[in-house]
Amino acid sequence: MRTDTPQTIYRKDYAPPAYLVETVEMGFDLDPDLTRVATRLTLSRNPESDGKSVVLYGDGVQLVQLRMNGRELTRRGYALGNGVLEIFNAPEQVTLEIETAIHPALNTSLMGLYVSNGNFFTQCEAEGFRKITFFPDRPDVMAKYKVMLRADKKKYPVLLSNGNLIEQGDLGDGRHYALWEDPFKKPSYLFALVAGSLVCQEETCTLKSGREVLLQVWVEEGNLDKTQHAMDSLKHSIRWDEERYGLELDLDRFMIVAVGDFNMGAMENKGLNIFNTKYVLANPRIATDADYAGIESVVAHEYFHNWTGNRVTCRDWFQLSLKEGLTVFRDQEFSADMIGTDSGRAVKRIEDVRVLRQAQFPEDAGPMAHPVRPDSYVEINNFYTVTVYEKGAEVVRMYQTLLGRDGFRKGMDLYFERHDGHAVTCDDFRLAMADANGRDLSQFELWYSQAGTPRVKVETAYDAGQEAFEITLSQSCAPTPGQAEKKPFHIPVAVGLLDSQGLDMPLFLDGSGSAEAFTTAVLELTESSQTFRFKHVKEKPVPSVLRNFSAPVHLDIDYTEAELAFLMAHDSDAFNRWEAGQRLAMRRMLALVKTVREGGQADAGAAGPLHDAFRATLTDSRLDPAFQEFALTLPSETVLAEQLDVVDPHAIHAVRQAMRRSLAQALRGEWQIAYQANRTPGEYSPDAESAGKRGLKNLALAYLVELDDDAAHRLAQTQYDNANNMTDRIGALAALANSSAPGREQALARFYEDFEQEALVVDKWFSLQAMSRKTDVAAVRELMRHPAFTLKNPNRARSLIFSFCNGNPSQFHAADGSGYEFWAEQVIALNAINPQVAARLARTLDRWRKYEPALQQKMKAALQKVAATRSLSKDVLEVVTKSLA
């Protein structure tokens, strides 16, 4: 917490550090109430800087002693204020001995060293290391670490840190020690320690090179029946990175540790990944198919960071997407490869694009919009965003689309060849891609520097006489904060042409120089408007544009409903088949929203073409159930809201609900058949095929329950009673919770009793109720009084508060503003406990200006209330200030 005005940090102000650190030796005397940390640093002047001061950062740490080159420094020898310790006119070579004192048990921010359920954990990214000791805590300072941990042997039998265990033993006084050494240079944000009472599953794994490595998954006692999936995911990740990128695990030992109190998903500390329990623990009793998939992808993500993030790291935090965008892209590709089938890959792509549209497009159009490589920040933790991560991954994917898979691999190889062991920039990555492929990618930089989602408009013309088909692409991008004018982006637009049979036509792109026919062409749009001409086009085609979502843009294209239904049925590009269905639904829903806004009824009955198209998808037995599930899910309320100039959340909700009911009614028989056909009897397996079936079956159930009749209630109740896995159980419970089934209350109560001991399942229980259409603000307040609720645990806070504020729009936007008042209270309460979690919740009202005036005023008042709160963290302050600006 601070009272001074928070400072804005600018990318343009980057300057190399005056001193570089060579070695770090640390000794920890671990005690929850008072931990002493003795640190010995060797530093030397950086030839790339002319600075003469050693600059160290510290945040909330007590400085006990400071010695330079063997001599104690008095207050005359250094300046300390505002979290900066500066030693002026230091000699060329410096050895610093720093002793600090910290209070882990009081640390509720979960940054630095903290206690969770009696055990010690650390989280240092982005700037948590400075909560442990004074240090040049910036990612371009890379050093080798040796860490001695000392603690009570009974309470903390396990002592872990990065790298290799060198030595361990007793200290004689009931305490013991462990000495760890990390052979690789690393930035301080990758430092980690864990101490406590934990158990592990371990396996050895033989790398392609023949080297054997030790893999461990550490959890609290009683959880060893939930670690196999994480272990398997780790082994698959190791294999995949060897095969796809030739990247080998560089340590002899790789550890994953699960912790119940954690601000985000997981952290890639060198050799000692620390994970939110949510992304480690799984067995069929407690975890859903989505949980299994989430664990696989997060384990992979953190493992992949070992090369993209750790071996090659970021020069400064503005370059965050250098590691995050790239690593998300890598984990997306890994998950797609793990499914293995073409349709599985397409489904994974659809899922990823859904996240982008649901969360990143709104961010890019709101007050917190920022480029993938931001130009400034107040609190860096606020920039671990969907833009840096997911849009960043799209930007990396575009290199692969432009250069091809082999070209992309060449770029990756050159990137490691040039930069291994260094802290670099997004430009360095782009140059490696360009140089390895002999391409000029300078215009591509705009994807890193310009915020906002570009809009690409498509116009076509067919000339039967010439057998020519022309596609004109025009691009624009709306202003974003601080960027009024945008230059044209370099946009890869993948295009196919369908003949009247729905088959791909062979493509001959004029001027491409290639005589060879292909069926998807990647058009490179680099100007504001360009026309591309296809030859030998025998009949007027239906174009399939932006196949596989080849760029993160809005696509404006005029299709008739018949063309959309045709694409939905025939496009060889599964992504665009899904997209056509979404467009068809979106168009109908937007028209209905207009009707409702004008005082009409949300009568979805006349949605004929949509019903037919959905029926065709639902009954096509050649389709992958996972694809069917996505194709039959209507665009979300958030995605709909983004299409409107003025958002009326109640009209949107009413329309989407009416649409769901009409689809339930019109396709009732088909839903019932799909429900029966997609049962997965026998032992549970989380594989993609079974998960896809369960997904479609549960979607069928959700539609049928929209009818809210006895038959649907019975179906849900029976599924609940007979479920042998969490996916089916929670699917049934969610259906019941949204219904007026007589067994609703009893099922909710029974679920809690059955799973009271499983924190992650209790989270699901809160979350499901928070998102139920039957839950209003008063009911959420009631749930907060439940003995299992606490704001201190981020997962629990997210499960109830975030789920309600972000996942239950019709109740959250209650006309009296009570949802917003609730939001403000919770942001303020969380701010005092955990600024990072509070700031995430603060983002909920980002888009307040888009809402209808009555709601807008109430949202603004809630934002102002938060902004006026005393001792606001800079995390929350930055978010609400930018929202109100």
Shortest Å distance, C-beta 673 to ligand B3K: 42
Q: Out of 185, 301, 798, 858, which residue is the one contacting ligand B3K (CB under 6 A)?
A: 301
Instruction: Tell me which residue of 331, 320, 526 sits closest to 426, measured CA to CA.
Output: 320
- Please give the Cα distance from 298 to 738 (Å, whole number): 30
Burial label for 530, CB within 10 Å (0-12, 13-18, 19+), is middle
Query: Which residue lies nearer to Zn ion by CB, 273 or 725?
Result: 273
Shortest Å distance, C-beta 600 to ligand B3K: 46
Which residues pair with residue 473 across a beta bridge? Answer: 458, 530
Of these residues, 302, 324, 394, 637, which one is catalytic? 302
Q: Do 212 and 205 meet the contact criterion of CB atoms below 8 Å apart?
A: yes
Specify the DSSP element, H or E, that contains 332.
helix 320-339
Contact partner at residue 125 from Zn ion, ligand B3K, none, CB < 5 to 8 Å by partner kind = ligand B3K
302 an active-site residue? yes
Shortest Å distance, C-beta 126 to ligand B3K: 5
Query: Which residue lies nearer to ligand B3K by CB, 279 or 448?
Result: 279
Q: Out of 18, 26, 87, 126, which residue is the one contacting ligand B3K (CB under 6 A)?
A: 126
CA contacts within 13 A on the Cβ side of 718: 11
- Please give the Cα distance from 697 to 699 (Å, whole number): 5
Query: Which residue lies nearer to ligand B3K by CB, 384 or 399?
Result: 384
Asked if residue 537 binds ligand B3K (CB under 6 A), the reply is: no
Query: Which residue lies nearer to ligand B3K by CB, 258 or 780?
Result: 258
- Please give the Cα distance from 510 to 299 (Å, whole number): 46
Site stretch for ligand B3K (CB under 6 A), options 300-308, 409-417, 472-480, 616-624: 300-308
Query: Which residue lies nearer to ligand B3K by CB, 384 or 575?
Result: 384
Asked if residue 387 binds ligand B3K (CB under 6 A), the reply is: no
Structure tokens at 848: 């307040």
Contact partner at residue 419 from Zn ion, ligand B3K, none, CB < 5 to 8 Å by partner kind = none
Instruction: Tell me which residue of 239, 290, 280 sits closest to 257, measured CA to CA.
Output: 280
Asked if residue 261 binds ligand B3K (CB under 6 A), the reply is: no
Q: Do 139 and 323 meet the contact criterion of CB atoms below 8 Å apart?
A: no
Site stretch for ligand B3K (CB under 6 A), options 11-19, 197-205, 298-306, 498-506: 298-306
Instruction: Tell me which residue of 193, 276, 201 sits closest to 231, measured CA to CA.
Output: 201
Asked if residue 267 binds ligand B3K (CB under 6 A), the reply is: yes
- Please give the Cα distance from 174 to 49 (Å, whole number): 48
Asked if residue 127 binds ligand B3K (CB under 6 A), the reply is: no
Region of residue 194 (phi > 0: left; psi between -120 and 50: alpha; otherwise: beta): beta
Shortest Å distance, C-beta 123 to ligand B3K: 7
Window 105-144: contact mask with Zn ion (x via CB under 5 A): ----------------------------------------
Q: Do 137 and 57 meet the contact criterion of CB atoms below 8 Å apart?
A: yes
Provide the residue type at 858 as one letter.
K
Give all strands (DSSP E) within 347-410, no chain letters. 376-377
Query: Which residue lies nearer to ligand B3K by CB, 302 or 758?
Result: 302
Q: Out of 99, 140, 220, 324, which residue is the one contacting ligand B3K (CB under 6 A)?
A: 324
Asked if residue 381 binds ligand B3K (CB under 6 A), the reply is: yes
- Please give the Cα distance from 41 to 134 (Å, whole number): 10
Q: Which residues contact 320 (CB under 8 A, 6 or more apart)?
A: 314, 380, 383, 384, 388
Kindly report whether the peptide bond that precedes residue 126 is cis, defined as omega within 30 degrees of 0.
Answer: yes
Window 226-245: contact mask with Zn ion (x via CB under 5 A): --------------------
Shortest Å distance, C-beta 218 to ligand B3K: 18
Site stretch for ligand B3K (CB under 6 A), options 299-307, 341-349, 662-670, 808-816: 299-307
Asked if residue 264 binds ligand B3K (CB under 6 A), the reply is: yes
Positive or negative: CA dihedral 278, 364, 844, 767: negative
Shortest Å distance, C-beta 129 to Zn ion: 17
Q: What are phi and psi of 77, to 5 degrees?
A: -85, -10
Shortest Å distance, C-beta 238 to Zn ion: 17
Q: Please, what is the Cα angle at 498 between 477 and 558, to 5 degrees?
A: 35
Tokens 């969360």 sit on residue: 359
Contact partner at residue 631 from Zn ion, ligand B3K, none, CB < 5 to 8 Å by partner kind = none
Contact partner at residue 264 from Zn ion, ligand B3K, none, CB < 5 to 8 Å by partner kind = ligand B3K
Contact partner at residue 127 from ligand B3K, Zn ion, none, CB < 5 to 8 Å by partner kind = none
Instruction: Tell me which residue of 149, 170, 200, 174 sits closest to 27, measured CA to CA.
Output: 149
Q: How many residues bind ligand B3K (CB under 6 A)?
A: 12
Query: Which residue lies nearer to ligand B3K by CB, 382 or 727?
Result: 382
Shortest Å distance, C-beta 332 to Zn ion: 12
Q: Do 37 and 97 meet the contact criterion of CB atoms below 8 Å apart?
A: no
Query: Which residue lies nearer to Zn ion by CB, 329 or 469?
Result: 329
Contact partner at residue 656 from Zn ion, ligand B3K, none, CB < 5 to 8 Å by partner kind = none
Residues in the chain: 885
Provide the residue type at 547 as one letter.
R
Query: Which residue lies nearer to ligand B3K by CB, 97 or 296?
Result: 296
Site stretch for ligand B3K (CB under 6 A), options 297-305, 640-648, 652-660, 843-851: 297-305
Q: Out of 31, 125, 758, 763, which residue is the one contacting ligand B3K (CB under 6 A)?
A: 125
Q: Which residues contact 23 (CB under 8 A, 6 or more apart)?
A: 40, 41, 42, 143, 144, 145, 146
Q: Out of 182, 268, 363, 763, which residue is the one contacting ligand B3K (CB under 6 A)?
A: 268
Contact partner at residue 648 from Zn ion, ligand B3K, none, CB < 5 to 8 Å by partner kind = none
Query: Which residue lies nearer to Zn ion by CB, 189 or 534?
Result: 189
**Terminal CA-to-CA distance of the chain, rounded, Å?**
22
Shortest Å distance, C-beta 554 to ligand B3K: 27
Tokens 């600090």 sit on residue: 100
Window 61-100: contact mask with ligand B3K (x via CB under 6 A): ----------------------------------------
Query: Which residue lies nearer to ligand B3K by CB, 6 or 407?
Result: 6
Query: Which residue lies nearer to Zn ion by CB, 187 or 692?
Result: 187
- Please give the Cα distance from 126 to 35 (Å, whole number): 22
In the three-class reduction of DSSP (H, G, I as helix; E, B as strand; rest coil), residue 57 is classed as strand
Measured CA distances, 168 to 193, 295, 797 (Å): 15, 32, 39
For the beta carbon of residue 721, count every other beta carbon within 10 angstroms: 12
Site stretch for ligand B3K (CB under 6 A), options 74-82, 149-157, 259-267, 553-561: 259-267
Question: Which residues within the stretch 297-326 sit at the binding site for Zn ion (CB under 5 A)?
Answer: 324
Burial label for 152, CB within 10 Å (0-12, 13-18, 19+), is middle
Site stretch for ligand B3K (CB under 6 A), options 154-162, 264-272, 552-560, 785-793: 264-272
- Please give the Cα distance from 147 to 192 (Å, whole number): 10
Instruction: Tell me which residue of 173, 144, 174, 141 sits closest to 161, measured CA to CA.
Output: 144
Query: Which residue lies nearer to ligand B3K by CB, 276 or 480?
Result: 276
Contact partner at residue 130 from ligand B3K, Zn ion, none, CB < 5 to 8 Å by partner kind = none
Q: Do 87 and 77 meet the contact criterion of CB atoms below 8 Å apart?
A: yes
Shortest Å distance, C-beta 137 to ligand B3K: 13
Structure tokens at 216: 């461990």
- Which residues here bind Zn ion, judged by CB under 5 A? 324, 327
Active site residues: 302
**Interacting residue ranges for ligand B3K, rule: CB under 6 A:** 125-126, 264, 266-268, 301-302, 305, 324, 381, 384
